[in-house]
Structure 1
Amino acid sequence: MPSTVTAILVAHRDPDHLRRSLDALAAQTRPADSVVVIGVDSDDATTAQASASAPDQLLASAERMPFGTALGVASRVVPPTESDDAWLWFLGQDTAPEPEALQSLMDTVAVSPSVAVAGPKLVDWDEASVIREQGISMTRFGATIVPVQDEFDQAQHDGTSDMLAVPAAGMLLRQKVWEQLGGFDQGLPVFDDGLDLCVRVRLAGHRVVMVPSARVASAADGTSVPVRSPKGRVRRRQHRQRRSAQLRRRMVYAPAFALVFHWLSLVPLAVVRSLGLLLAKQPGAIGGEFAAAFQTAFGGNRLGHARSTLARHRTVKWAAIAPLRIPLSQVRRMRAQRREASLVRLHGERRELNFFSGGGVWVVLATALMSIALFAPFLGSSQLGGGGLLPLNGIGTLWSELGYGWRELGIGFVGAADPFTAVLAVLGSLTFWQPSFALVLLWFAALPLAALGAWFLSTRLTHRAVLRATFALIWALGPMLFDALQQGRPAAVLVHVLLPWLFFAGTAAKRSWAAAATTGILAAAVLACSPLLAAALVVIWAIGLALSGRGVVRMLLVPIPTIALFAPVVWQQIARGTPLAVFADPGLPQVGGARHPLQVALGFADGGLGGWRELAETFGLNQLVPTIVVPILLAPIAVLALLALFLRGTIRATLCLVGALLGFATAVFALNVSLSVQGSEPVALFVGPALSLYWLGLVAAATMALVALGRFAIGPATVAVAFVAVAVAPLAIAVPLQNSAVSTGATAALPAYATAQAQTKPRTATLRLSPQSDGSVAAQLVHGTGVKLDEQSTLSATSRTLTRQERELATLAGNLTSASGLDASTLLRHFGVSFVLLQTSAGEGLSQASAAQARAEAALDGNPLLTQVAATDDAVLWSVPAQKTTVPVPPDAGGWLRVAVFVLLGLVFGLTLLLALPTGRTERGTLRRPTAAEVLGLQAKRRERAEAEPDAAGRADSPPAEPESDTSATGVEEPRDEQPIGDASVAEPPLAAAGAMNGTSAEHDTEVVRDGE
């Protein structure tokens, strides 16, 4: 009996695709015996066009239904049969078979009676030499694998015939088998419909073959083949559909005894896979992961019917199809090859950073040697003191202080930790055996780390090694950095070190999840060190957000870590009516700093123009000399920055100067704003971090001017570096000349007598009394071995009122430091005071502080409750012999809120870190599938790269033929998720808020591939 073929074609609203499909069907050398066309969600035009082809049956439905459902509806008009010679051919309007396709399929099944399903090779709609899909298989664990996908067709796979499954599009299926198995599983509307049907066909005892000579063009418009779309919402929807299909097949295929275990594992597995998706830089797929799990678990999607259908028709065991599954080792090889192909396409538009060959390592080495020379007196020290430097607690205490809970400062209180505490915890963990030593390393590493960050940021501006070195050196020689180092301000030092890295990562944030997460963490760290920068960075972020296009979701991630870190302290400051106190400088409050806008404009954060006033006084020069010399030394930077506005790259230079203006405005605003107090003196905000932002914008704009000058840039660059070095020289040599506030050892430590007792009783309390310039005495309760840097709190430093406990402590201090008949034993016992320490740094004289010191010393000596046990040049120590006990920390300080805040911070930063990790997992969704043109050009691009590499090696140290400023502000390639940040050099405006001005949208360049497990 001759074979008969009924072609069923599913049409939708696309006249061009439908016309080509109908024409291709009519042009078959072996025509179909009957044709059934079904229009889904069809309009009059679709129906008329299908009718014009004169099909044997024409069906139309206003309902939008999946491909498998439409085939099931259309097959009902085909008369049932028991013959083995009746076949169904499934096509969609997005499939156009070549003239010999049906003939090849029929020739194959004619000589193989055991074959029930034959599938064609799916090729590109516009370029038939590109294979889009050839066969389907799955791993041992049921993940869908397409062995041959997006390859140039050289008949290299034509020898393969037996396959586990073939796509539904173009499938030729024995009609009797179709009727026996009940068609496609309606629970698989988009993905895995063909795979599932073929698995059931094989388990029913039939064969499935691939016919490479049968070629069908596929447009993938969603009718029979899932849409290939670059849009993010399409990819996210397809991930959910793909995962739902995999979970459904798992539940259908599982043996009965394992079904409950699979069901219980659905949601936990979604949690684990979500972490993997973060590592794979696919956070947008997490929602679909959970949706698929809950849909499978509670969707009521007729799993029982599917399982019974499978069991009813299965005649062979699962072991029969095991040889057709893809081994995991082969899966890894396939994915590695696809990753390599994707990177080959990308590397054609990227340049290596050449950190070693381009001179970056020499810049870092030079600044490291400079740092060792300038801070040589600190060599061998285990900790530093003076200025704002204090020791750090042990590693366990450092981390326990995060979030919300007991604050050990002074009397102690329950409150939110400063965000800076988290930075200190991370920093102290680097030298976990002695956290205070991390501050010593920071002082030595500040210059090379600043130069390193600036060098990497300069790769966004230029490819010329000399200009990169210029940028890095000028940044490392910034006056505000040396101000912070000499005044002992670790927070300001960290801001200067981190700012280049923040903008380096930020320029790629809109295109890369890893870069966006890294930017978020760095922004949180910078703002934790200097909340003053919040307004400026928010403006920069808002500009980037407005210009980020389809990368807006990534940009929205950036502030989340900062919000989580600051939320507890912001809430508490607002609750007590001091919202502006959020912007107070963290760490130990320090009095002093710049007080004039001219000093700010020159980049100096101190009041002496970086030591130039003292230098002029030493040589007997007029004080006007520094105000003339210093501006002249810094003039080249300003001139070059302004010149950049009139050269090539004006837009990017303008953005850099906007950043500089924001930093300058922030510094001027901070000049006369005091939010915290030190004793009786108000403490103005430190302008150093704002000046770092100001300096970064100026140096970036100046570098862009040098880029535009081309071969004439060497002279101005040399002058700029030399002049800046001279300008900061008095500050730089402050430590060797012993003019720095920083010294070795802990200058604020308690006398050894008190420290020895605190070693055995950590809660030993010492009442520290410090005479003030107005004649008052400041009182502070110190527990343990002394005040620690991580114990400092802006909640305490910015408090406007005294608590009852603080008023009682003030009463105790006042009566101890003056002749009074009050019996202080009750208050001493209440606060657990074991020692009283009087600071004697005021010395002898006629000042109010000296008078207060003398009065206090006399009163303490005459107090019968106290016994003098030690005296130094700076302090006198009395003990309280009657004090035998210490006051413990209140139990459960912070309550449930402490746990909640800690868990919130852990979740936010843990998930953000997972996104930031450069895993390099590019084959599973972070790279899009190539176009046909890219597939065809892949071999050519590989040859070009192979030919270019020897030439590039020879020109590694040479400047490019054309100035970098010729690079336009658009179309510049940025880092993607497939490589860690910094693997390639790109031209970006460093202050353009995460690269919002450059490149095309990442959404166009990414698509989740089909073969993810």
Structure 2
Amino acid sequence: MPAPVHAIIVARSGESASVQLGRTLDALRDQRTPPAAVTVVVLGDATRVRALSGIGYIVEGIIEARANTTFSEAVALAQPRVAPGSAVWLLAEDTRPDPRALHLLAGALERSPSAAIAAPKLVQQHDDREIVSLGVSMTRAGRAVELAAGELDQGQHDDLEDVLGADVRGVLIRGEAPAVLRPDTALAGADEGLDLGVRARLGGARLVLVPKARVGVLPTGPAAQPRNAIARAWATRRSQLHRRLAYAPAVAVPLHWLSLLPLALWRSITHLIAKRPGEVVPEWGAALTSMVSLRALTRSRRAIRSFRRASWADIAPLRVSRAQLKQRLDDGHGSERGVVSELNFFGGGGAWTVLAALLVNLVAFVSMLAWPAIGGGALLPLRQTVAALWADAAWGLRDLGLGIVGPADPFTGVLAVLGSLSPAAPSLALVVLWLLALPLAALGGWFAATRVTDRAGLRILGGVLWALAPTFLSALVQGRPAAVLLHLVLPWVFHTAVVAHRSWGAAGAASVLIAAALACSPSLAPAFVLLWLLALVLMLAGRRLRGAARLLWLLIPSTALFLPLVIRQLRSGDPWALLADPGVVLPLDAVGRADIVMGFPSVDRAGWEWFAGGVLIDWVPLLLIPLAVLALLSALSPRWRAGYVLLATTLTGLATALLAPGVVVSFAAGVGVSVWPGTGLSLAWLGVVGAALVTLDTVVALRPLRTGASLVAAIAVAVCALPALLAVPTGHAEVQNGPTSTLPALVAAQAVGDADRGTLVLTPLDDGSLSAGVVWGASATLSAQTTLVSTATAPVGDDISATAVDLLSGREFDAAGALARQGISFVLLAQRPQEQDRARTMREEATTSVDQRPGFIKAGQTARGMLWRVDGDIAPRPPLTPSQGAIASLVTLVQLIILLAAVLLAIPTRASRRAARSRSRIVGRMPDEPIVLPRQRIVDHHDVQAAPAAVEAPIIEEPEAQAAREHEPEHSVPEDVDGAEATR
């Protein structure tokens, strides 16, 4: 005779839950073998439940619990009401069993004496043809794996019976089963059914599936996993860690416990690589919770030990092997949704474009092949070691001035990355950068064009126009490394940022590139923030919350890098200094607003002043008119949304460039220097080139007309670039063969590898004043420059000016001893080229004054100026205090963690590459716009039959391509397709 059945139903409070509960109670009344008793546990206010019609005829008791009570805790509250020997049927408000479900479950327990638990087949309540869950197993590491879920029910799994576990909803537990075969209250709302099956196996019993017993469920019930992704990740991981500790042998528990935090760190890295950043915080939360939940762990282990009869060897055959798991999760090696978006870099002319740009670059800068270092303009040598480069990029003691402690400019981090590419000679990296500038720019421009057009010719045009931008060539000729690096980074920012809403991989790459771009040009921060806010508003307006979450990440690495500097400048009371150009401050000629509007950041208009002798300089802007007209026409194109966004980018960059001359925050030789407008023009040029490509791709339909317009624009820009390309060979460029050190050879030789050796550099100025500064090590370096000094309106660190003035005055004091105590070994009286009379007089008087002071050994006249060595014992340079060291470590650690997270997100995986290829590279494509692919073979009839999904669209003939496919519009593709979700 079967044991009586006591049903425990866990329900939430609220009107909707009460309606669901009423339907569940009706299903219990209709059972062929109804339960003997029913207890309802209400999570929250039970007033609505008590008011249900006829509830008193079937429910023997209603228990009111806290709203945050878990399913397992609710079952434990109802357990005392279960009569001894009664089987327990676990249900929830949303479980609607078929009329024969309980009869079949009870019959399975009666037929199989070894079975302690019987589990039904869970199906969708609104569509019983879809399987929600039918059996659960786990891997050796304890990961729960559904054996059948999300499939169309065709009876394909009805032969399943002997499994390790099942979903807890609807399971029937034998009345004679020990009391420990109840859901473990230490679990976090996941894996309760799996845990019950494992416990039954360890007790010598088993869990059997009854596929004929069907229970309809909803995904919102109290026994279902949380719908919120973060809560679900926490519950799953917490349950997994608890089971691992509960099942482990006693001697292994301490080792498992100690491994929780290192394992959380490793899994955080894998989550980021797999593009699942939302699971990082739950991972740490679950690990910390498991570490402190020792009482619950002890209770669970004691319960298992009290009835354990079997070993883990008896359970091993029911586990999922690694090969089985890989086969279960692998969804093939093809593309998603039948769409393949190939890059065609080699077949589409990208490689030839880069090669041609390389040849032009080598011809224009051929003399640089023999340069060991590059100088002139804002160029200085880099550090001699990679370790010193990275030390300059961290918060700490600055190697410029005296006793200056604080954050580094983020630009030093970019230089550290650049110098690390040539570890044996970091300064050589700058020479290589100039030698590869044009091909690198063409490469970036070509890739940026792939987001605008599929046409090979237009992609080539995009690479050429970006490489020949007037602002880029001006930066190369004038020796502005920050501006050159910005121009090389910007197209990659565009390439990744415009699809950052699609996947975490693109968002991670874009965030790193945006941080690099802002490090090279902080003045672009307002423009970037404005464009970011615009994109964020569009995402939120379209209710694309996942895309908005990815966009939110874009500025987080930049914020982490700039925040220490922001705090320092705000405390100094000069927030405008945050917009200063990094690196060496280069004096600017006054450039008119008209020149900026026409696209030129300097008065010589990209070298045309010397090239044409001023005759044609007023006509040079006409060369850029064809490109500007094409850009404006994009607002009338079929892809007008993309045109408007690109034109908005142009206006934002142009506004930044127009405002730059009015922002004077840096100082060179005591003279204020404004922000360079060229960086804003680079952003504007990006928008202009992109908008022009949109016009050529969509408005100009006839191939001859499109080719002609492209050639006119390209030739006009090439002619405009001619003087800049000839500047180095003709000697009209500011870049030149640079020295390996900016200090005299004696200083450089004695200070090699010694960053504690300082040199006081005194520079007479043309107005009769004197500039004083301290250089540490063998040379002034580019990475040692800091805007803390270049933008300072008051002394920063220890003021050396008083000592310098006293040194040159008639005041009697131990000048050599004062300098030696501050770690200064040499005094250099620099001689500037083309000195005026007042500066020459100052230099001569200073030479006489220092010669007369004891403690200074005159080294003689050098190419850099007059040099003296300080006689005596030189004190070591004061290190950071303990508090300063702690701040430096904390700031560096936080920045590294955030940057590492962004880099891990940016690392491509096979799944993320497949997901990217499954969608059109073109952003803003209209639904009726066909994809124009490069030339490829015609797919024959047999290929179409073999892979119908890949050739859904009919093949059409185009002048540019023999095959093309139409695909679904971009907005119809699920927004959350990225690497992790494609893998799942």
TM-score range, shorter chain: 0.7 to 0.9
Task: Map residues 629-648 of structure 1 onto 2, 5 A cutoff.
Answer: 630-648=620-638
Deviations 1:64-110 (A, max 9, x none): 565455556667666533xxxx7555444534455665666566555
- Answer yes or no: is 1:289 the counterpart of 2:283: yes
- Distance verdict in 2 for CA 1:244–1:857, change over 3 Å: closer
1:716 Cα deviation after fit: 1.9
Report the counterpart of residue 727 of structure 2 in structure 1.
Answer: 734
Contact 1:593 1:686 in 2 (8 A): no
Distance 1:458 1:757 in 2: 51
1:527 Cα deviation after fit: 1.6
Distance 1:892 1:55 in 2: 79
Task: Map residues 843-858 of structure 1 onto 2, 5 A cutoff.
Answer: none
- Answer yes or no: is 1:298 the counterpart of 2:292: yes
Contact 1:751 1:877 in 2 (8 A): no
User: Which residue of 329, 335, 340 maps to 1:335?
Assistant: 329
Contact 1:37 1:55 in 2 (8 A): no
1:439 Cα deviation after fit: 0.7
Distance 1:298 1:891 in 2: 41
Report the counterpart of residue 695 of structure 2 in structure 1.
Answer: 705
- Answer yes or no: is 1:891 the counterpart of 2:879: yes
User: Which residue of 691, 713, 719 maps to 1:720?
Assistant: 713
The aligned amino acid for 2:948 is E
Aligned-residue CA RMSD (Å): 4.1
Q: Give the 3-state SS of the residue equivalent to 1:671 in structure 2.
A: helix
The aligned amino acid for 1:38 is V
Report the counterpart of residue 134 of structure 1 in structure 2.
Answer: 134
Unaligned runs of 5+ in 1: 927-939, 980-1005
Segment drifting more, 194-203 vs 212-221: 212-221
Segment drifting more, 720-729 vs 546-555: 546-555
Deviations 1:155-197 (A, max 9, x none): 55444432111222232432222x6445322333621211122
Report the counterpart of residue 989 of structure 1 in structure 2.
Answer: none
Distance 1:862 1:952 in 2: 90
User: Which residue of 234, 243, 256 maps to 2:237?
Assistant: 243
Contact 2:121 2:209 in 1 (8 A): yes
Q: Give the 3-state SS of the residue equivalent to 2:701 in structure 1.
A: helix
- Distance verdict in 2 for CA 1:77–1:820, change over 3 Å: closer
Contact 2:91 2:169 in 1 (8 A): yes
- Distance verdict in 2 for CA 1:57–1:437, change over 3 Å: same
Deviations 1:182-241 (A, max 9, x none): 5322333621211122222222222322344444444333244335x4xxxx11112222
Segment drifting more, 270-279 vs 858-867: 858-867
1:596 Cα deviation after fit: 0.5
Contact 1:423 1:525 in 2 (8 A): yes
Q: Give the 3-state SS of the residue equivalent to 1:683 in structure 2.
A: strand
User: Which residue of 808, 833, 837 maps to 1:841?
Assistant: 833
- Answer yes or no: is 1:907 the counterpart of 2:897: yes
Distance 2:586 2:267 in 1: 49
Distance 2:640 2:422 in 1: 45
Contact 1:50 1:58 in 2 (8 A): no
1:779 Cα deviation after fit: 4.5
- Answer yes or no: is 1:357 the counterpart of 2:347: yes
Report the counterpart of residue 995 of structure 1 in structure 2.
Answer: none
Report the counterpart of residue 978 of structure 1 in structure 2.
Answer: 979
Report the counterpart of residue 38 of structure 1 in structure 2.
Answer: 40
- Answer yes or no: is 1:444 the counterpart of 2:446: no
Contact 2:27 2:97 in 1 (8 A): yes
Q: Give the 3-state SS of the residue equivalent to 2:665 in structure 1.
A: strand
Report the counterpart of residue 538 of structure 1 in structure 2.
Answer: 529
Report the counterpart of residue 220 of structure 1 in structure 2.
Answer: 219
Distance 1:398 1:288 in 2: 36
Contact 1:387 1:488 in 2 (8 A): yes
The aligned amino acid for 2:560 is A
Contact 2:131 2:151 in 1 (8 A): yes
Contact 2:33 2:100 in 1 (8 A): no
Report the counterpart of residue 945 of structure 1 in structure 2.
Answer: 949
- Answer yes or no: is 1:616 the counterpart of 2:612: yes
1:49 Cα deviation after fit: 6.8
Contact 2:956 2:963 in 1 (8 A): no
Contact 1:121 1:134 in 2 (8 A): yes
Deviations 1:320-355 (A, max 9, x none): 222222223332333334xx49x85x4446633333
- Answer yes or no: is 1:743 the counterpart of 2:745: no
Contact 1:754 1:835 in 2 (8 A): no
- The TM-score, its normalising length taken from structure 1, stands at 0.82
User: Which residue of 685, 688, 691 maps to 1:695?
Assistant: 685
Contact 1:477 1:724 in 2 (8 A): yes
Task: Map residues 73-472 of structure 1 onto 2, 5 A cutoff.
Answer: 79-81=83-85, 89-97=89-97, 105=105, 108-109=108-109, 111-153=111-153, 155-177=155-177, 180-181=179-180, 183-188=182-187, 190-226=189-225, 229=227, 234-299=228-293, 302-337=296-331, 340=332, 346-348=336-338, 351-393=341-383, 394-411=385-402, 413-472=404-463
The aligned amino acid for 2:300 is A
- Distance verdict in 2 for CA 1:308–1:952, change over 3 Å: farther
Distance 1:428 1:269 in 2: 34
1:491 Cα deviation after fit: 0.3
The higher-RCO structure (CA 8 Å, 6+ apart) is 1
Distance 2:685 2:759 in 1: 43
Deviations 1:286-332 (A, max 9, x none): 33334333443435764444333322222223332222222233323
- The TM-score, its normalising length taken from structure 2, stands at 0.85
1:670 Cα deviation after fit: 1.5
Task: Provide the aligned length of Structure 1 versus Structure 2.
Answer: 936
Contact 1:768 1:839 in 2 (8 A): no
Distance 1:142 1:327 in 2: 11
Distance 2:912 2:535 in 1: 26
- Distance verdict in 2 for CA 1:369–1:211, change over 3 Å: farther
Distance 2:814 2:22 in 1: 104
1:366 Cα deviation after fit: 2.6
- Distance verdict in 2 for CA 1:48–1:860, change over 3 Å: closer
Distance 2:749 2:909 in 1: 49
- Distance verdict in 2 for CA 1:411–1:118, change over 3 Å: closer
Distance 2:265 2:79 in 1: 41
Report the counterpart of residue 572 of structure 2 in structure 1.
Answer: 576
Contact 2:500 2:507 in 1 (8 A): yes
Deviations 1:110-159 (A, max 9, x none): 55332232323333444444433221112223222223333345555444
- Distance verdict in 2 for CA 1:166–1:498, change over 3 Å: same
1:674 Cα deviation after fit: 2.5
- Distance verdict in 2 for CA 1:248–1:355, change over 3 Å: same
Contact 2:190 2:236 in 1 (8 A): yes
1:685 Cα deviation after fit: 1.7
1:730 Cα deviation after fit: 0.9
Q: Give the 3-state SS of the residue equivalent to 1:251 in structure 2.
A: helix
The aligned amino acid for 1:806 is I
Contact 1:392 1:435 in 2 (8 A): yes
Task: Give percent identity, aligned residues only.
Answer: 37
Distance 2:891 2:309 in 1: 58
Report the counterpart of residue 589 of structure 1 in structure 2.
Answer: 585
Distance 1:974 1:715 in 2: 38
- Distance verdict in 2 for CA 1:133–1:742, change over 3 Å: same
Distance 1:350 1:1007 in 2: 15
The aligned amino acid for 1:40 is V
Distance 2:160 2:651 in 1: 66
Q: Give the 3-state SS of the residue equivalent to 1:123 in structure 2.
A: strand
The aligned amino acid for 2:84 is P
